[in-house]
Amino acid sequence: MSTRKPGGHPARAAAAEDAREARRAKAAAMRQRELAKERSRRVLLISVAVVVVLAIVAVVVVVIDRSRPDTVATAAQVNPPSAGAKAAGYVLPGTAAVGAPTVDVWLDYQCPYCKQFEAAAGSTVVDLAASGKAKVVVHTLTFLDGNLGNTASQLAAEAAAAADAQGRFAEFTTATFAAQPKEGVGYTVADLRKIAQTAGVPDLDAWQKAVEGHAYRDYVQSVQDSMEAGGVSGTPTVTVTPQGGQKQTLTNEQVLGSDPSTALTQAVAAATT
């Protein structure tokens, strides 16, 4: 008695095996296609991520560059005529009389207390020089840039130097404090050009060329560097020095009290020899 092995007819078994092989091949091909798609998606995601990272880096670089003070001179460095030398303050117009003391005023154009002093005694400072009652020297500082995170004090001080080149330093200083923005906002070149116009700077284009070219950058920095040597720790600082005598620093009450103008006038009279 003969028996038949499991699997049925040989032809049908072969056909079934071929069908299974075809299904396996089709499944393998589908897996390969899915793997290829996944690789493509990964490459795309990585490419997008790289582009985003590069864009962020570019933005950060631009922001850092814009927040960094300009350190590249684009014009020959010069000293303002009323100062004459690096680290020297501006000598206001006037011929000091024999025995007249020297008044030194240290200010920062972003300092709100300097604005207060200028409003109360700025005209007195100018009059003391013009009348010969004192030699008046004004020093423009920039240390508030570091405190406030901008470069507006440096820019305003350079603009003042450019105004001095056209004989309008005192007027520019008065106009700058009158237009002083909220602390920390700072000045722009456009702001300072309007101030220069108010101050009567005759050639605004020449003024702007000097400001944008940073022709007085090194001079302004040298004045700031002299702050410590001058014994100054803040602004406004006002000192009166008799000829051949000891320098006297006015108190906060004298400088920022109820009548700074009278206090300064009295200090000058007391120091006259």
Q: Do 201 and 128 fall within a single domain?
A: yes
Q: Indicate left, alpha or beta for 69 from its phi (over 0: left) and psi (-120 to 50: alpha).
A: beta
- Is 85 part of a structural domain of the chain? no
For 5, the token pair is 């092995």
| pLDDT confidence of residue 8 | 46
Q: Specify the number of domains making up the chain.
A: 2
- Is 76 part of a structural domain of the chain? no
Q: Do 31 and 147 fall within a single domain?
A: no
Q: Is the pLDDT of residue 192 over 50?
A: yes
- The larger pLDDT score, comparing residue 84 to residue 97, is at 97
- Is 208 part of a structural domain of the chain? yes
For 214, the token pair is 């940073």
Q: Do 63 and 101 fall within a single domain?
A: no
- Is 99 part of a structural domain of the chain? yes
**For residue range 27-49, what is the model confidence (pLDDT) as tens digits?**
666 677 766 666 666 655 666 55
Q: Is the pLDDT of residue 171 over 70?
A: yes
- Is 1 part of a structural domain of the chain? no
Q: Do 17 and 152 fall within a single domain?
A: no
- Is 80 part of a structural domain of the chain? no
Q: Do 106 and 54 fall within a single domain?
A: no
- The larger pLDDT score, comparing residue 34 to residue 180, is at 180
Q: Do 163 and 257 fall within a single domain?
A: yes
**For residue range 214-259, what is the model confidence (pLDDT) as tens digits?**
999 999 999 999 999 999 999 999 999 999 999 999 999 999 999 9
- Mean pLDDT, all residues of the chain: 86
pLDDT more than 90, % of the chain: 72
Residue owning tokens 């100054």: 232
Give me the domain span that covers residue 58: 6-68
Q: Do 130 and 234 fall within a single domain?
A: yes
| pLDDT confidence of residue 203 | 98
Q: Do 105 and 228 fall within a single domain?
A: yes
Q: Do 62 and 100 fall within a single domain?
A: no
Taking the C-alpha atoms of residue 139 and residue 170, their distance in angstroms, rounded to an integer, is 12
| pLDDT confidence of residue 3 | 29
| pLDDT confidence of residue 4 | 32
Q: Is the pLDDT of residue 12 over 90?
A: no
Q: Do 11 and 51 fall within a single domain?
A: yes
In the DSSP assignment, the letter for residue 73 is: -
For 182, the token pair is 């909220």
| pLDDT confidence of residue 249 | 98
- Is 135 part of a structural domain of the chain? yes
3-state DSSP percent of the chain in helix, strand and coil, to 5: 55, 10, 35
Q: Is the pLDDT of residue 7 over 50?
A: no
| pLDDT confidence of residue 23 | 72
- Is 82 part of a structural domain of the chain? no
Q: Do 129 and 12 fall within a single domain?
A: no
Question: If you average pLDDT over residues 165-175, what whole number do you get?
Answer: 98
CATH assignment of the domain containing 104:
3.40.30.10
| pLDDT confidence of residue 19 | 63
- 3-class SS of residue 108: strand
**For residue range 48-95, what is the model confidence (pLDDT) as tens digits?**
555 555 656 554 444 444 444 444 446 799 999 999 899 999 999 999
Please state the length of the chain: 273
